[in-house]
Structure 1
């Protein structure tokens, strides 16, 4: 069954239905949702408040779960063209002492695909190439919505209203749609700030993740001659950049850390370094009401410690499209969608928060104990601790592949391990 425009109808009209969706937000999650919905036979209008569709200039890890999802949208070759596989990550202390050596060929040998780091702007461009860009309205700020039993209406800043069968809030951390659905909630400051950069450097062998005392630093090859890096430290909320600039500040913080960290920072142009305080949103027990739902950071903004934010938004998009394609009406489809997604995203958000705490332990004695324990944990055990996240498979959107999306996704979803019950 496909989506029908009537909220209470018992049968849909197939994948070629005239159902229409409005997506608020033209970021990675929103555009992926647009592609997935179009492939499911649903008409899409995307509203983006910016005058130009663009992403910030930094790297983005696409883990196996996201790569698998993008492959189902026919985007495997496009992703291969803009990134290179991550083959190994050495976990070390700030002096360079090895705590673990994680090799992707071992970690992902059962999964069929491996991790790839891409430039966010290049990923968005690849996604837009697969989306009907005539369906995008730029400079369109959605200030709210209203709905009845038959339709939902997006209200624009100029007073115009657009009608559709469903509305998807993919409008990020400070989501207007989330605020109207569940009340305005100030994001929670995680306690640390994050610098991100892209260095022009030979990236061979630069896969490192360094744990410090209140700090962490990670480097991942993005192309043969570019490397993505990030740095985090505990700091009061809202601290301003130093007068000397971000590059100067990061060098001051990490100049005595092991090679290649100072070298990678030196190889980064000032304008290629971004900084933002890290926030997460309060867990929601529901994402949907009537014909309106949330996706990506609007639904489950989390800390970046597992690199899963965009990956989960991509998963959301395909699960949502599959539910709409195979469920009898919009309201039921959105309820199924949130049922399938909330537990998984909540578990990963908790795990990401835990990892940030462990990696950035500030007490020298406790962080030393942490490092000693990490050295003694078999690398296979460390790798397997991520499998419950990475082996998740979204359902296929091809006709006939998914008769019951709930059964399909639940069968493949791995419940979070007991160690996460803090």
Structure 2
């Protein structure tokens, strides 16, 4: 039986591990965290590829994943609806997707506190060295260890995040905690407010015990320099690289956020921002690698390409990498893995570059160029805007045309 090691146990890593295991591979997942991953306070567009494993092989119905958003709205200066049109998206929480995939994989081969230190492609195998001194070998190594990928740092150290010129303030509020008027306006909608140099987006995601949260992102331009450095310096004086987590943003910056909301946002969105207990900051970056396959090792998801959030395709891209990897190594002998990975790379690299360019173009349009107009359709999608939609009539039918996307469970 061929041995695969998946470095990184988040959504992309778990999907890759499950797909490979279903093909008959012997799979272990190596997660650097000491504890199972926690809810990261963010919503995820439930793209068909993202939820495919849960629907096809874990017995979930699409209608049981996340919460629906059936309207796309733009708000005007006074908070009234300036434009509205129907849409058909679902938004999930990170935790429900992670827990569903982890339940499917199980914890026996999901190893915590396993930090990659080095890897060596030796032709007929890959040798992994872990920070605890353990040495492992495999026929295939999948690096799915995210934006802070150790695998990428080893294989392509020159690939570094490039600051896009703006940050996203983020947060969630329980819908029941909002005033009746604000809750009614936001409802089950994707809601945008376009600003002269930025925008705010909010949409519903599932919370604990059946509650619904309003998840929001306010994209604000911040030039490199002293202000950005101050913004990213937490309450303990430590300068964050990419995220200042909830509870760590300096109080003075929270006060500035509230003051800016009072001036720049319509009343419903001001309320949303002010009612958020602990907003956090995400630095918006671009990151890409020149190649994804290295002998018997590959990079998937954010380990290879970090997309700006505007098209809601980061998790879908990781899942697509995983499913297409399954296609690539289907019915392959161990010696053919490097060749199959190169074929997989030939397909996935152009797709990733196209998605990255779309996400970058959306960001430039709304943050700097002022060409995104009220009424423009939501840009969510992996291969094209709109391909993240999950119409109601699919909620009990599964993913259409899934057979063309990746391998089925082997007998």
TM-score, structure 2 as length reference:
0.79
For 1:109, the equivalent position in structure 2 comes to none
- For 2:20, the equivalent position in structure 1 comes to 37
Choose the corresponding residue for 2:124, options 150, 154, 179: 150
How far did 1:299 drift?
A: 0.9
Q: In structure 1, which of residues 240, 258, 261 is the aligned counterpart of residue 269 of structure 2? A: 261
Q: Say whether the 8 Å CA contact 2:310–2:380 is kept in structure 1.
A: no
Say whether 1:343 aligns with 2:346: no
Distance 1:351 1:54 in 2: 30
Q: 1:395 aligns with which of 394, 405, 411?
A: 405
**Aligned residues of 1:348 and 1:389 also touching (Cα < 8 A):** no
Structure 2 counterparts to residues 226-305 of structure 1, below 5 A: 226-235=213-222, 236=224, 237-238=228-229, 239-240=231-232, 243-244=250-251, 247-256=254-263, 257-270=265-278, 273-282=279-288, 284-305=289-310
- Secondary structure of residue in 1 paired with 2:84: strand
Q: Does 1:181 align with 2:155?
A: yes
Counterpart position of 1:87: 70
Q: 1:166 to 1:381 in 2, by over 3 A?
A: closer
Give the superposition deviation at 1:187. 1.2
User: For the structure 1 residues 33 and 245, does the alpha-carbon distance in structure 2 shift closer, same or farther, using more than 3 Å as the test?
Assistant: farther
| Structure 2 residue ranges without an equivalent (≥5) | 177-182, 235-248, 390-399
Deviation (angstroms), 1:75: 4.2
Q: Distance in 2 between matches of 1:400 and 1:214?
A: 51
Instruction: Give the equivalent residue in structure 1 for 2:242.
Output: none
**Inter-partner Cα distance in structure 2 for 1:147 and 1:40:** 23
CA distance in 2 between partners of 1:22 and 1:380 (Å): 37
Residues 363-404 of structure 1 show CA distances to partners (whole Å, capped at 9, x for unaligned) of xxx63xx36x555x7x69999961467699662422689xxx
3-state SS of paired residue (2:217): strand
User: Over residues 164-222 of structure 1, what are the superposed CA-to-partner deviations in whole Å (9 max), with x where a residue is unaligned?
Assistant: 10111111123221222223433111111112212111452442012212221111011
How far is 1:94 from its partner? 5.3
Give the SS at the match of 1:183: coil
Distance, in Å, in 1 between the alignment partners of 2:401 and 2:347 is 12
SS at match of 1:146: strand
How many equivalent pairs are there?
363
The Cα of 1:321 is off from its aligned counterpart by: 1.6
> Aligned partners of 1:77, 1:65: CA distance in 2, in Å?
13
* Matching residue within 305, 315, 323 for 1:318: 323
Q: Deviations over 1:288-308 (max 9, x none)?
A: 111000010011112111111
Structure 1 residues 40 and 93 mapped into 2: Cα distance closer, same or farther (>3 Å)?
A: farther
CA distance in 1, matches of 2:189, 2:274: 15
Q: State the 1:338 CA deviation.
A: 1.2
Cα 1:77/1:69, change in 2 over 3 Å: closer
Find 2:100's aligned residue among 122, 126, 129.
Answer: 126
Alignment of 1:109-124 (within 5 A): 115-124=89-98
Contact 1:65–1:392 (8 Å) recurs in 2: no
Shift of 1:344: 1.1
Instruction: Give the CA RMSD over aligned residues.
Output: 3.0
Query: Does 1:101 find its partner at 2:84?
Result: yes
Once residues 37 and 169 of structure 1 are traced to their aligned partners in structure 2, the CA distance between those partners, rounded to angstroms, is 14
Residue by residue over 1:300-324, the C-alpha shift from the partner in whole angstroms, topping out at 9 and shown as x without a partner, is: 1121111111111111111112211
Following TM superposition, by how much is the alpha carbon of 1:92 offset from its aligned partner in structure 2, in angstroms?
Answer: 4.1
Aligned equivalents of 1:50, 1:381: Cα separation in 2: 33
C-alpha contact (below 8 Å) 1:165/1:291 kept by paired residues: yes
- Cα shift at 1:24: 0.8
Report the CA distance shift for 1:229/1:266 in structure 2 as closer, same or farther (over 3 A).
same
By how many angstroms is 1:41 displaced?
1.5
2:5 aligned residue? 22
**TM, length-normalised to structure 1:** 0.77
In structure 1, runs of 5+ residues without a counterpart are: 1-17, 106-114, 402-422
